[in-house]
């Protein structure tokens, strides 16, 4: 296993902290951009799948953990990335996809999912059993969460041994922003209190010891905490180092650990670099990458409207509006306001709920029509400058990859030693 993850805590102690971006997306263009960057710089790339996105039943992508690895490896071969450069992580692995079912059933499915992830070759495993199941409180107490995490860890250890694989490293803890961003305007976000983080670590350590998993606990590299970063539909809460200073100082008591920061999307390079410096070197990013992809697609939709006879007036944007209003399940509980506000959020929200629609046949057809329309069209520099002034690319597909890469470049800059 690459030492890029296991070396994070030691590098911080030595005063030479570095970070790594965790690419939380199954979108092929996002993955291509991340892998193309890895091919260029020769370094590792961490790609993560979530429990709802990829599981033994297919998740919303239709992929099992083994399918996902094959999918990524296929793009990697096209981009010239060596397999050993790719680290695969499983995010929020626990009963969340089945939390409406009784705990015994949901936890059995969660165990089967963890088994499938580890057996497929995922080597970074975030165990998250924080959510209540049918008949339970929405948020569970620390002891119950830790006991369930230990049970899932035992499954992961067995799966690795059975498959003849090196045992994984683990991420524990659950105090994270709302997945996909908050559903309302935010003015501030409180960092996790040091006392709460200290208790979470202690309770998990004790639960693992009771389960005979002391050796596995030595491979716990990070706990998830809230350093005070978040994004809502139309605003971003920037990292404020002094407010998280006491939480960061807790790592002096736990020299083998770092913290993992979720929802770091849309932070500046300076803020991300400060997170790395302060002990949050694993930087999760997802919606910010597909947001950049959507921006570039919509810009190309305008380019084609201007340059290609018969293409129409923004048919891609119109197709996405029709699709999202006909199937509102992925956004209706997250966006609020009158019809104009809802329309704006459907397309332009930082929460980027539109990302769930790109794999729908209607969306794929509209994107394919755009790519076909621009396939043999020379885009004048002046037109590209009008709609995508900071992007360069030889063709439409390269422009999309370049748009995502601009975001990845910010993370690369922040994560350098």
Q: Is the pLDDT of residue 181 over 70?
A: no
- CA torsion, ordered 288, 61, 323, 306, to nearest 10 deg: 50
Q: Stretch 194-213: mean pLDDT, rounded?
A: 97
What is the per-residue pLDDT across 44-92, written as a single tens digit (0 to 9) for each?
999 999 999 999 999 999 999 999 999 999 999 999 999 999 999 999 9
In this prediction, residue 207 carries a pLDDT of 98
Q: Stretch 347-357: mean pLDDT, rounded?
A: 97
**Confidence band (pLDDT; 50, 70, 90) for 1?**
very low
Q: Do the beta carbons of residue 261 and residue 284 sit within 8 Å?
A: yes
pTM of the model: 0.96
Q: Is the pLDDT of residue 175 over 80?
A: no
Q: Token digits for 376?
A: 């043999």
Token pair 């803020």 in the structure block, residue? 271
Question: Which residues, in sequence order, are CB contacts of 316 under 8 Å at separation 6+?
Answer: 297, 298, 301, 366, 367, 369, 370
Q: Do the beta carbons of residue 270 and residue 219 sit within 8 Å?
A: no
Cα 40 to Cα 36, 405, 412, distances in angstroms: 6, 12, 12
In this prediction, residue 177 carries a pLDDT of 42
Cα 363 to Cα 130, 319, 354, 355, 388, distances in angstroms: 34, 7, 10, 10, 22
Q: Is the pLDDT of residue 179 over 80?
A: no
Question: Which residues, in sequence order, are CB contacts of 130 under 8 Å at separation 6+?
Answer: 94, 139, 140, 145, 174
Closest CA to 204 of 171, 232, 236: 171
Q: How far is CA 401 from the centre of its chain?
A: 18
In this prediction, residue 176 carries a pLDDT of 52
**Confidence band (pLDDT; 50, 70, 90) for 174?**
confident
In this prediction, residue 178 carries a pLDDT of 41
Q: Is the pLDDT of residue 405 over 80?
A: yes
Q: Stretch 201-213: mean pLDDT, rounded?
A: 98
**Confidence band (pLDDT; 50, 70, 90) for 211?**
very high
- Give the separation between CA 288 and CA 292, rounded to whole angstroms: 6
Q: Token digits for 175?
A: 């105090």
Residue 128 class from Cβ within 10 Å (0-12 exposed, 13-18 middle, 19+ buried)?
Answer: buried
Largest CA-CA distance found in the chain, in angstroms, rounded:
70
What is the per-residue pLDDT across 235-258, written as a single tens digit (0 to 9) for each?
999 999 999 999 999 999 999 999
Q: Is the pLDDT of residue 38 over 50?
A: yes
Residue 185 class from Cβ within 10 Å (0-12 exposed, 13-18 middle, 19+ buried)?
Answer: exposed
């Amino acid at each position: 296993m690459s030492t890029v993850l296991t070396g994070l805590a030691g590098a911080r102690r030595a005063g030479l902290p570095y970070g790594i971006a965790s690419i939380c997306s199954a979108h092929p263009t996002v993955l291509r951009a991340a892998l193309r960057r890895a091919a260029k710089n020769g370094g590792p790339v961490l790609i993560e799948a979530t429990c709802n996105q990829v599981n033994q039943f297919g998740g919303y992508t239709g992929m099992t953990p083994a399918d996902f690895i094959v999918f990524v490896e296929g793009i990697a071969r096209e981009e010239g990335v060596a397999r050993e450069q790719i680290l695969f992580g499983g995010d929020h692995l626990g009963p969340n996809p089945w939390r409406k079912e009784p705990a015994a059933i949901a936890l059995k499915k969660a165990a089967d999912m963890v088994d499938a992830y580890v057996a497929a070759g995922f080597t970074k495993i975030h165990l998250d059993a924080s959510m209540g199941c049918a008949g339970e409180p929405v948020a569970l107490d620390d002891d119950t969460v830790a006991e369930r995490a230990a049970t899932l860890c035992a499954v992961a250890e067995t799966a690795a041994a059975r498959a003849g694989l090196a045992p994984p490293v683990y991420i524990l803890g659950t105090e994270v922003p709302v997945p996909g961003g908050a559903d309302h305007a935010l003015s501030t976000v409180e960092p996790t209190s040091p006392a709460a983080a200290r208790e979470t670590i202690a309770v998990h350590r004790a639960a693992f010891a009771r389960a005979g998993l002391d050796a596995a606990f030595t491979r716990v590299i990070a706990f998830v905490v809230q350093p005070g970063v978040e994004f809502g539909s139309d605003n971003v809460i920037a990292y404020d180092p002094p407010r998280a200073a006491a939480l960061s100082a807790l790592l002096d008591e736990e020299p083998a650990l770092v913290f993992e920061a979720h929802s770091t999307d849309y932070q500046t390079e300076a803020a991300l670099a400060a997170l790395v410096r302060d002990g949050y070197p694993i930087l999760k990013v997802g919606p910010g990458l597909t947001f950049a992809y959507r921006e570039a697609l919509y810009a190309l939709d305008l380019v084609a409207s201007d340059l290609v006879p018969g293409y129409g007036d923004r048919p891609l944007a119109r197709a996405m509006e029709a699709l999202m209003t006909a199937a509102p399940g992925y956004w209706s509980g997250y966006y609020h306001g009158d019809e104009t506000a809802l329309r704006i959020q459907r397309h332009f929200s930082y929460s980027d709920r539109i990302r769930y629609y790109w794999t729908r046949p209607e969306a794929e057809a509209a994107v394919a029509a755009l790519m076909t329309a621009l396939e043999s069209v020379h885009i004048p520099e002046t037109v590209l400058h009008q709609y995508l002034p900071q992007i360069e690319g030889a063709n439409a597909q390269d422009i999309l990859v370049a748009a995502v890469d601009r975001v990845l470049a910010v993370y690369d800059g922040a994560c350098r030693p």
